[in-house]
Chain A
Amino acid sequence: MSPPARLDDHTPVVLLIAGPALIGLLVFVLVPFLFALLTAFTNLRLGSPLPLEFVGLKQFTRILSDPTFVRAMGNNFLFALIIVPLQTALALGLALLLNQGLRGTVIYRTLFFMPVVFPMSLVAVVWILIYAPGPNGMMNSLLDLLSFGQWQPRDFLRDPALALPAIMLLSIWQGTGFQMVILLAGLQAIPQELHEAAALDGAGHWQRFLHVTLPQLRNPLTFVMLITTILAFRLFDQVQIMTRGGPDNATTTVMYEMVETVFTRQQVARASAMTVIFFLLVLGVTWLQRHLVRETREVE
């Protein structure tokens, strides 16, 4: 932070102008989070006759030995593992295609970005129709067409092997435009001279992509992968609406289990411990990204 221009003390006026936001962050973000952090180590449960006790890591060991929760975490990781490379690659591909200065670029950009303004719950409901079972379902007919009639109609959302991939697909549809726009801005920030210099040195398209574009795009790419990973850990809306975590826990997630714990079991401490686990996952991903970005800055 740069030093202020004047030496006079603005503390009284700051109470007025920064006060509301800072009080808001303290009361509605920091305090609740600290509350979750504390209760995660207790046995707090609404309506429970047992006295409130400090139970150490018991909630955590219990959760982490619950096969459903382990499955939920596994699903989040699987979701991230598949969606992050796939969605980033697609967003990068679209951004590269749109960055060539072709006529009509704005129209294409509009189309690819449009799903971003669709609320996820709406997307989830509409895609239930797309995944309708039977030969008349849209996805079934599309796959039938693409496989020249080899495809046997499936009930995507009730099929343990297909439910999570089905949710991945619509998540990619809704989210790619967001990443594309960030990467497009990154591409436009690369000085044209770098490409020209490389071309003069005899570098072809592919070599310029590898040695100019990718290194220059490293920070926006890491950022895009970070937000996609965090999005994967936040996965909830689609699951709650389309599958309720099923079939056989094939699509349950950390967030879904957390909300279930709040509403069906009233177990405050258990839900708080899940919150803490979720937070640690997000913190880990963020730390990894900051680490990667800092490294490039040192190299530059």
Chain B
Amino acid sequence: MRLQRSRVGIILSYALLTTLALLFFIPVMMMLAGSLKPDERVLMEAGSLAGFIPGEVSLQNYTDVFNRTEFLGFLFNSLFITGTIVIFGLLVNALAAYAFARLRWRGRDLFFNLVLAVMILPLEAIAVPLFYGVSLLGLRDTYLAQILPFIANAFSIYLFYAFFIGLPRELEEAARLDGASTLRTFFSIIVPNSKPVFASVAILNFLMWWGAYLWPLMVTIGPEVRPLPVAIAAFYTLPPLQWGDILAFSVMMVAPVLLLFILFQRWFVRGVAATGIKG
């Protein structure tokens, strides 16, 4: 039996959803339309309906971005930093979680409590000492300082652990009896059966590091290893202020992720919903 719904209720729901969706979409429309307009019209028309219609389409702003900034360099930096953190993070944190969920070793409970304790420390709580450490070692303005400290991640370990502990033990028993090593069992049995959690952890970490601002702002100095989030803020302060260029930068910055999001939407939604199990 499905609960009855009134027709008025349905119409009202659609009206509300559509109004809210339009409000949510306004900034995106403005970004897109403005990026295609001559610069002087962006600010002038932002307050009218014309703000959402490009009118004469021009790609001038996009060419400006390439002329005025090292956009491709920043894009590479962001992809390289985020990609490395995500890929090494998956490997290292999943293996650690497997050791907690399935193996017997000295100090296991102690270390598990350490993981749980460290989980409530956001980056902001270690940014200051980490910054002085990086400065002391002369590692400011490097990829290393933006990658290495963030590969091990307590929350990722926790998410993997929660998933592995729920896998039936029989899966591994057969492999074990055949004499497969621990590592081999992990890669040939556990990994193929844990795709959802790998996807969730990858997406959550990707979103977090792709958008990270505080840490790269602190450790980068010049534009060489600067990622996109810091680059767009720097571009905004680079005179002359040209809104068309800034919006073109924004569109190019968000387009690849938006495409990924639309293609793998189900996984994004699942990944985010998975954080809720922590509660």
The answer to the question of A282 belonging to the interface, with a C-beta cut-off of 8 Å to chain B, is yes
Given contacts A33-B121, A236-B124, A110 and B24 within 8 Å (CB-CB): no
The answer to the question of A247 belonging to the interface, with a C-beta cut-off of 8 Å to chain B, is no
A26 to chain B, nearest CB (A): 8
Residues of chain A with a CB closer than 8 A to B165's CB = 1-2
Residues of chain B from 192 to 235 with CB closer than 8 A to chain A in the complex: 207, 210-211, 213-214, 217-218, 228-230, 232-233
Given contacts A33-B129, A102-B13, A117-B207, A25 and B118 within 8 Å (CB-CB): yes
Complex-state Cα separation, A210 to B20, whole angstroms? 24
The answer to the question of A148 belonging to the interface, with a C-beta cut-off of 8 Å to chain B, is no
B253 partner, pick from A30, A119, A220, beta carbons under 8 A: A119
The answer to the question of B159 belonging to the interface, with a C-beta cut-off of 8 Å to chain A, is no
A220 to chain B, nearest CB (A): 5
B126 partner, pick from A29, A195, A262, beta carbons under 8 A: A29
Indicate if the CB atoms of A114 and B182 lie closer than 8 Å.
no
Indicate if the CB atoms of A127 and B1 lie closer than 8 Å.
no
Residues of chain A with a CB closer than 8 A to B236's CB = 125, 128, 241
Query: How large, as a class, is the contact surface on chain B?
Result: 35 or more
- Classify the secondary structure of A's interface with B: helix
A246 to chain B, nearest CB (A): 15
The answer to the question of A80 belonging to the interface, with a C-beta cut-off of 8 Å to chain B, is no
Given contacts A2-B165, A128-B236, A129-B46, A117 and B100 within 8 Å (CB-CB): no
A127 partner, pick from B27, B43, B103, B104, beta carbons under 8 A: B27
Residues of chain A with a CB closer than 8 A to B59's CB = none
Residues of chain A from 211 to 226 with CB closer than 8 A to chain B in the complex: 219-220, 222-224, 226
Given contacts A5-B102, A10-B99, A126 and B27 within 8 Å (CB-CB): yes
The answer to the question of A89 belonging to the interface, with a C-beta cut-off of 8 Å to chain B, is no
Residues of chain B from 102 to 158 with CB closer than 8 A to chain A in the complex: 102-106, 108-109, 111-112, 114-115, 118, 120-122, 124-133, 148-154, 157
The answer to the question of A298 belonging to the interface, with a C-beta cut-off of 8 Å to chain B, is no
Residues of chain A with a CB closer than 8 A to B127's CB = 258-259, 275
Indicate if the CB atoms of B92 and A20 lie closer than 8 Å.
yes
1/0 contact trace for B257-279 toward A, CB 8 Å?
Answer: 11001100100110011011011
The answer to the question of A61 belonging to the interface, with a C-beta cut-off of 8 Å to chain B, is no
Indicate if the CB atoms of A10 and B104 lie closer than 8 Å.
yes
Residue of A nearest to B186 (CB): A17
A236 partner, pick from B24, B42, B213, beta carbons under 8 A: B213
Residues of chain B with a CB closer than 8 A to A111's CB = 21, 24-25
Indicate if the CB atoms of A24 and B92 lie closer than 8 Å.
yes
The answer to the question of A209 belonging to the interface, with a C-beta cut-off of 8 Å to chain B, is no
B262 to chain A, nearest CB (A): 7
Residues of B within 8 A of A (CB): 1, 3, 5, 10, 13-14, 16-17, 20-21, 24-28, 30-31, 34, 42-48, 51, 92-93, 95-96, 98-100, 102-106, 108-109, 111-112, 114-115, 118, 120-122, 124-133, 148-154, 157, 165, 169, 173, 181-183, 186, 207, 210-211, 213-214, 217-218, 228-230, 232-233, 236, 243, 246-247, 250, 253-254, 257-258, 261-262, 265, 268-269, 272-273, 275-276, 278-279
Complex-state Cα separation, A182 to B44, whole angstroms? 40
Indicate if the CB atoms of B130 and A121 lie closer than 8 Å.
no
Complex-state Cα separation, A234 to B43, whole angstroms? 31
Indicate if the CB atoms of B46 and A130 lie closer than 8 Å.
yes
B161 to chain A, nearest CB (A): 9
Interface size on A, residues (CB 8 A): 107
Q: What are 26 residue pairs bridging A and B, where the CB atoms are less than 8 Å apart in the complex?
A: A1-B100, A1-B112, A9-B106, A18-B99, A25-B152, A28-B150, A94-B17, A112-B20, A112-B21, A113-B269, A114-B261, A117-B257, A118-B254, A119-B213, A120-B213, A121-B211, A122-B254, A123-B27, A124-B233, A130-B27, A136-B48, A219-B279, A220-B279, A223-B276, A241-B236, A259-B214
Complex-state Cα separation, A136 to B111, whole angstroms? 58
A138 partner, pick from B30, B131, B272, beta carbons under 8 A: B30
Residue of A nearest to B6 (CB): A205
A129 partner, pick from B152, B169, B182, B243, beta carbons under 8 A: B243
Indicate if the CB atoms of A9 and B104 lie closer than 8 Å.
yes
Given contacts A120-B211, A173-B27, A181-B269, A8 and B104 within 8 Å (CB-CB): yes
The answer to the question of A66 belonging to the interface, with a C-beta cut-off of 8 Å to chain B, is no
Given contacts A17-B96, A29-B121, A272 and B268 within 8 Å (CB-CB): no
Indicate if the CB atoms of A21 and B114 lie closer than 8 Å.
no
A119 partner, pick from B25, B30, B228, beta carbons under 8 A: B228
* Given A114-B261, A240-B217, 6 additional A-B pairs, CB 8 A: A100-B10, A122-B228, A122-B232, A127-B27, A223-B279, A255-B124
The answer to the question of A206 belonging to the interface, with a C-beta cut-off of 8 Å to chain B, is no
Complex-state Cα separation, A82 to B102, whole angstroms? 44
Indicate if the CB atoms of B122 and A29 lie closer than 8 Å.
no
Residues of chain A with a CB closer than 8 A to B262's CB = 110
The answer to the question of A283 belonging to the interface, with a C-beta cut-off of 8 Å to chain B, is yes
Which has the most chain A C-beta neighbours within 10 Å: B13, B34, B103, B207?
Answer: B103
